[in-house]
Structure 1
């Protein structure tokens, strides 16, 4: 492996108003920019879409930080309320992007499910340059009358969404009329959590996105 291809891996504990959080960082030499991703309400850091996004983006030259929310670091099984997630996310991302050893811009914010919602709500405050939303939960299962259009409208310009064709929280067809004009929806066969067989399609989707990100 040449120096240009070397990837530095680091785990950083980060203070927040909600308790200590954690960032799992992979940084290639001469990174093109930074992608920060949050996990879902189930807390799975190893969900297929998150790990594929991380691996493809790192291989494409992006520094990637997967954020572990304080509730998960503390060993709790239930995610906090949205305001507490936002209150923890913002200082953690800000710490990664500032000070000695800061990660480079442009900054892409995103995550899967609840993490995607957090990224939308806080994108403006963090001055994000783009968004990457995985399995965005547009509504609760069986409740298509209660949409989260207001959060989608806050997604940065540009934004990409990777959505399962059978996602009970919102299929690509359900999302299409509601996404902002600067967002692109890429559909992948699967439900809200992707099966292992979806890996090739997820790799293709993330490769396409990696080639289009500003940076």
Structure 2
């Protein structure tokens, strides 16, 4: 078991009621009794209450909101799905952050690699794991593998998976199989890294 709690933020469009996130949390917890603490941004809380979809606010406002969740921790891991992972990468300067985990990092908007977000990764001060699908439209293997990333960032690829980690039928892999695989990757990396 990692002795540090893992804070997990959601993506832009869905919160922690999302099947993928809830199943992933359960799978990571079950691996080695890892404590997972969900991070729900205020705009998503409003969306759940009003049952009306809301776009995320300006990205810069999400960083201090995430930081508020962890301000009393002595040591923790920050993580997130897509946008939540992007926010997590901006917290590495905080003394309590020991590692970062991103599930489906949004390297660039769909179809716009020229508007990439590599600068978000350039100043990370702690070890960072990115679990990415090879077919992720926000960062496919072919494009990402040609970029230069800092040495403290490790990418583990999920063959045939898209941004939601769904795989093509030819891979004969269920989403549950993939989630359990991602959970094992995450815990193995945490055990060897921190």
Q: If the length of structure 1 is used for normalisation, what is the TM-score? A: 0.74
1:70 and 2:34 correspond: no
- Shift, 1:208, TM fit: 2.5
Report the Cα distance in structure 1 between the residues aligned to 2:18 and 2:142, rounded to whole angstroms. 23
CA contact (8 A) 1:39 1:114 kept: yes
Corresponding residue of 1:57: 28
CA contact (8 A) 2:77 2:100 kept: yes
Report the Cα distance in structure 2 between the residues aligned to 1:57 and 1:165, rounded to whole angstroms. 22
Corresponding residue of 1:190: 161
CA contact (8 A) 2:24 2:180 kept: yes
CA contact (8 A) 1:48 1:194 kept: no
CA gap of 1:160–1:38, structure 2 versus 1, over 3 A, is same
Corresponding residue of 1:135: 104
- Shift, 1:134, TM fit: 0.8
CA gap of 1:148–1:31, structure 2 versus 1, over 3 A, is closer
CA contact (8 A) 1:128 1:156 kept: no
1:113 and 2:82 correspond: yes
- Shift, 1:118, TM fit: 0.5
Corresponding residue of 1:102: none
- Superposed, which structure 2 residues align to 1:1-215 within 5 Å? 32-59=3-30, 60-75=32-47, 77-95=54-72, 97=73, 105=75, 107-125=76-94, 127-176=96-145, 177-188=147-158, 189-195=160-166, 197-213=174-190, 214-215=193-194
Q: Structure 2: which 5+ runs fail to align? A: 48-52, 168-173
| Cα deviations by residue, 1:173-200 (Å, 9 ceiling, x for unpaired) | 3223233212211112321122382331
| Cα deviations by residue, 1:125-182 (Å, 9 ceiling, x for unpaired) | 2541111001100001111111111101233432111111211111133223233212
Higher helix share: 2
**Where do 4+ consecutive residues of structure 1 move more than 6 Å?**
none
Q: Structure 1: which 5+ runs fail to align? A: 1-29, 99-104
Higher strand share: 1
| Cα deviations by residue, 1:50-79 (Å, 9 ceiling, x for unpaired) | 334312321212211111101111226111
Q: If the length of structure 2 is used for normalisation, what is the TM-score? A: 0.81
Q: How many residues of Structure 1 are paired with residues of Structure 2 in the alignment?
A: 178
Report the Cα distance in structure 2 between the residues aligned to 1:77 and 1:165, rounded to whole angstroms. 29
CA gap of 1:145–1:49, structure 2 versus 1, over 3 A, is same
CA contact (8 A) 2:27 2:179 kept: no
